Amino acid sequence: MAITKIDTGTIMDVINGMINAKEFDGVETGYIGLDHMLGGGLEKGKVYLMAGRPAMGKTALAINIAFNVIRAGYKVVYASGELSIEGLIKRMIKTCALLQNNAGEYTEEEMIRMIDAAKYIGKKSLVIDDTELSCENICKDSSGLYKDADLIIIDYLQLMMIFSCNIGDDAFSVRNQEQICESLRTYAKENNVAILVLSQIGRSCEARTDHRPRLSDLKYPIDRYADVVMFLYRDGYYDPESETRDVAEVNIVKNNNGMTSCVKLMWLQEYLKFLTWERR
């Protein structure tokens, strides 16, 4: 490795860059602790990976974040490979209006909350894409759905792998995965948009005493392409009697330009809602 003498001019260039650094250009998640650790929120031009085992609440947290972002006046495109437009809207209204599973039996107060939530959801700042979840559809954007988006949420990576490969090819091949990851990263930079990708992880963490996911549990190369990697974990899923059953952890295990840490959120199971965690 060559040793280079650092001259004064180089040092001054770095200092000037720090002084003249642009203000945060992105969207806040709506969770104070998470935004702080991410340097302000989800920054445009970057790819964020949120992974976890099934039933941890990845879609629920993504829906919460989407609602917080559109409420702040930004455009969100939610690309879902599982939920229909109707299903996603229903989940969002239920979560944001704090509705329990009492289908059709709502109080007057709940009805008011539903209408308030609908006011934000009905704005043009929320776009739901429930067509085929392929990387090509998003990057070409022939429909114009993704134009001027501030945040794109992809739910979820493994389904995108299936829809993005040619018939007969291995959807989970390293080549297919890397093409998707490279395309998403390029799209985020060229279109100045933040991309939040949800991903499942394998069962390897189930065999450990501590079930919290690690980077080594990811089978896909997106962790190399993502600017930030986060794992969502709830101890209450494994132990319903746990003292922390109502607490969720967002473990930031990779952050190219910031801190790695664990951010706690409150989890309201009956509403599928996450709240900023308050120490008790």
Which residues are catalytic, by number?
A: 82
For 217, which DSSP code? G
**Residue 66 identity:** A
DSSP-assigned states of every residue in 152-190: EEEE-HHHHHHHTSPTTS-TT-HHHHHHHHHHHHHHHHH
Q: Which tokens go with 131?
A: 């067509």
| In contact, 124 and 145? CB cutoff 8 Å | no
Two tokens, residue 182 = 């490279």
- Pairing outcome for strands 151-155 and 126-129: unpaired
- For tokens 């085929």, the residue is 132
Nearest-5° angle of CA 163, CA 165, CA 171? Answer: 90
Q: Which residues contact 196 (CB under 8 A, 6 or more apart)?
A: 42, 48, 50, 62, 65, 151, 152, 153, 154
Q: What is the DSSP letter of 106?
A: -
Strand order in the sheet with 194-200: 126-129, 76-80, 151-155, 194-200, 47-52, 228-234, 247-255, 261-268, 273-276
